[in-house]
Chain A
């Protein structure tokens, strides 16, 4: 029984981490049809910079607040000066993000060396919770809570604010939104920056879990891709459900049938692709 509880909690915490990773990609793709191959790079930079910030200042809180804002700024610049002019030329945008991926990867390599780092946890979250016979890391509970909070906030923003309705409308019908006089280029840049923000946030929050290492950008991108395909493009709710599903299937899969480890991530994706290519909750 303990085994099941622990593994399920594992799955949920991993799923919430995946949600943080994938939410940004889903939004960006859903609204702007940009396949941002540099999405994982935002994670990587967030994790490495977070590592440096925590190392210099000792404050996890500072890292959580400052780093995603910084990377959001980077995303803003990247979209405004590189990607925006190619809106509509999707292939060019993909290739630009691919070039950016290489550049970010090399810059992180240059600055932080090829070292793999695991971010230190804040002291009050470093321990374990013991409930009866179950010992579970406190930090993973924190990740679950954060994931849920971000999901709720996103839902609130999307459903209850003007910005949110613009985004939702843009996902459904971009031409109409433009026709209504809304400055879509600026909206797009804002959403891209938001995507970068979320990715970098997952870098700082996920850093103690997943770590920062050369190649993390690719690994994260692939995970985010799986979630987005399964959950559906353009839907935060879809990303939430998709990431929970993937987190649980992967964790339980590894626990029960370890020979199929990597496969348990891609199998659900393959099934969805075959049966329902728009994903479970795809809006588009």
Chain B
């Protein structure tokens, strides 16, 4: 019954969105894509307690792989997108090995540095990546087998992204409520205790890194299809830090929090800049305010006001 209600709600949402001007459909699409990115990051940050400052690495790696394969090597969308996902998993596998030797702030520094290595490659290897100019002209896939309508119109692409978003949410939901998920929460609370209880802490953290990386990779591929363009910005520190902001703003350790945070950040960024040139300043102030006043994010604030409504689902 709840599932049907939810499905109906989503269908209504998809229909309403089609009525909006394309500009807002676009913003929503971008917000959902970054929401996927943020939820992946939250798996590490909120659920496992690993503060990654380099999450853009997987996002951009997948995006670039997909772009290079489809542009330079003329591969089909299936091949390029799958390769993109695979590459983001491989990078996560390598980076996980390197970064998990540390924890806390060092983990932050190292993840940041690792992402910068990829950024440096994207920036410097002009012949392959286009350098700072980026790679334009990436066409959206025609996946007639799955989705009989063209993905070119913004509303259709939004629907496709929405579907993927829902799938990711569902998957994360299942994951977070599984024994694996509860172990991650335990690790977040105290690694020492979990180790004493006999859990293989390192493996759990490693798998979390892999999954989070893959989710970020999915987001990266969608992002590049949306814009038709990839550049080193997709591997930047700014993106990683914004991801963290989205998680904190929405509420870390929750399910929808990061997605809500993404929606807020995307809309703020775009709408503020339309009204004032000083949008960067306002954004900075908002970031400060979020950290100072709402450390549990929007979802946390709602919970505080309305006890019993949004019970602490993920924080058993």
A residues with CB within 8 A of B: 29, 33-35, 37, 82, 86, 90-92, 94-96, 98-103, 105-107, 109-110, 218, 221-222, 225-226, 228-229, 233, 259-263, 265-267, 269-270, 273-274, 277-278, 284
A270 to B259, CA, bound (A): 32
Residue B124 CB within 8 A of the other chain = yes
User: Measured between C-beta atoms, what is the minimum distance from B236 to chain A in Å?
Assistant: 9
Could you give 15 example pairs across A and B, Cβ below 8 Å?
Answer: A34-B105, A37-B237, A86-B291, A90-B104, A94-B241, A95-B248, A95-B287, A102-B284, A106-B278, A225-B113, A259-B124, A263-B124, A266-B117, A269-B117, A270-B113
Return B161 CB to nearest CB of chain A, in Å: 27
Q: Check B113–A94 contact: CB distance below 8 A.
A: no
6 tightest A-B CB contacts, nearest first: A102-B284, A99-B287, A262-B124, A266-B120, A103-B284, A106-B281
Q: How distant is B53 from chain A, measured CB to nearest CB, in Å? A: 7
Known: A98-B245, A103-B284, A261-B124. A266 touches B108 (CB 8 A): no
| Residue with the highest number of chain B CB atoms closer than 10 Å, among A37, A102, A229, A260 | A102
Question: What is the CA–CA distance of A260 and B51 in the complex, to the nearest angstrom?
Answer: 31
CB-CB contacts below 8 Å: B261-316 with A: 278, 280-281, 283-288, 290-292, 295
Q: How far is the CA of A100 from the CA of B287 in the complex (A)?
A: 9
B109 touches A233 (CB 8 A): yes
**In the complex, are the beta carbons of A265 and B120 less than 8 A apart?**
yes
**Apart from the given pairs A106-B284, A261-B124, 9 other A-B contacts in the complex at a CB distance below 8 Å:** A35-B108, A35-B112, A86-B291, A91-B51, A91-B244, A95-B287, A99-B284, A106-B278, A222-B237
A156: min CB distance to chain B, Å? 28
Across the interface, do B113 and A102 meet the contact criterion of CB distance under 8 Å? no
Partner of A98, one of B98, B106, B241, B285: B241
User: Are A263 and B113 in touch, CB under 8 angstroms?
Assistant: no
B295 to chain A, nearest CB (A): 7
Which residues of the partner chain B approach A110 to less than 8 Å between Cβ atoms? 278, 281
Q: Which interface residue of A95, A110, A222, A226 has the most chain B CB atoms within 10 A?
A: A95
Q: Do A102 and B281 have beta carbons less than 8 Å apart?
A: yes
Q: Are B114 and A263 in contact (CB under 8 A)?
A: no
Q: When the two chains form their complex, are residues B98 and A277 in contact, meaning their CB atoms are under 8 A apart?
A: yes
Residues of B within 8 A of A35 (CB): 53, 105, 108-109, 112
Identify the closest chain A residue to B284 (Cβ). Answer: A102
Interface centre among A94, A98, A226, A263 (most CB of B within 10 A): A98
A284 to B245, CA, bound (A): 28
Name the distance in Å between A143's Cβ and chain B's nearest Cβ: 24
Q: CB within 8 Å of A: which of B27-73?
A: 45, 51, 53
Query: Whole-angstrom distance from the CB of B180 to the nearest CB of chain A?
Result: 24
Judged by a CB distance under 8 angstroms, whether B101 is at the interface is yes
Q: How far is the CB of B93 from chain A (nearest CB, A)?
A: 14
Least distance between A89 CB and chain B CB atoms (Å): 8
Q: Which residue of B lies closest to A274 (CB)?
A: B98
B280 contacts across to A, CB distance below 8 A: 102-103, 105-106, 109
Please tell me if the beta carbons of A269 and B116 are within 8 angstroms of each other in the complex.
yes
Tell me, in angstroms, the Cα distance from A37 to B248 when the chains sit together. 17
- Given A82-B288, A102-B287, A229-B113, the answer on whether A277 and B120 have CB atoms closer than 8 Å is no
What's the minimum C-beta distance from B289 to chain A, rounded to whole angstroms?
8
Interface size, B (range): 35 or more
Q: Which residues on B sit within 8 Å (CB–CB) of A277?
A: 98, 101-102, 106, 110
Give the residues in chain A near B104, CB-CB below 8 Å.
Answer: 33, 90
Do A273 and B114 form a contact, CB below 8 Å, given A33-B105, A92-B291, A92-B295?
yes
Q: Identify which of A105, A107, A270 gathers the most chain B CB atoms within 10 Å of its CB.
A: A270
The minimal Cβ–Cβ distance linking A249 to chain B, given in whole angstroms, is: 13
- Complex CA distance for A99 and B244, rounded to whole angstroms: 12
What residues on A are CB-neighbors of B120 within 8 Å?
A: 262-263, 265-267
Q: Is the CB of A29 within 8 A of B109?
A: yes
* Complex contact A262–B123 (CB within 8 A): yes
- Counting CB contacts under 8 A, is B125 at the interface? yes
Q: Are the CB atoms of B245 and A225 closer together than 8 Å?
A: no
Contact B283 A102 (CB under 8 A): yes
Which chain B residues lie closer than 8 Å to A260 at the CB level? 124
- The reply to whether A273 and B113 form a contact with Cβ atoms under 8 Å apart is yes
Contacts of A103 in B (CB 8 A): 280-281, 284-285, 288
Would you call A90 and B116 a contact (CB within 8 A)?
no
Residues of B98-145 contacting chain A, CB below 8 A: 98, 101-102, 104-106, 108-110, 112-114, 116-117, 119-121, 123-125
Q: Are B245 and A270 in touch, CB under 8 angstroms?
A: no
Residues of chain A contacted by B112 (CB below 8 angstroms): 35, 225
- Tell me which of B108, B113, B280, B290 has the highest count of chain A C-beta atoms within 10 A of its own C-beta: B113
A263-B125 contact, Cβ under 8 Å, with A218-B237, A273-B114, A277-B106: yes
Complex Cα gap A34–B109 (Å):
10
Q: How far is the CB of A271 from the nearest CB of chain B, in Å? A: 10
The reply to whether A37 and B241 contact each other, CB–CB distance below 8 Å, is: yes
Smallest beta-carbon distance B110→chain A, Å: 6
- Closest A-chain residue to B236, C-beta based? A218
Residues from chain A with a CB closer than 8 A to the CB of B278 are: 106, 110
Bound form: Cα–Cα A96–B291 in Å: 7
Bound: A274/B117 CA distance, A: 12
Central interface residue in A103, A228, A261, by most chain B CB within 10 Å: A103
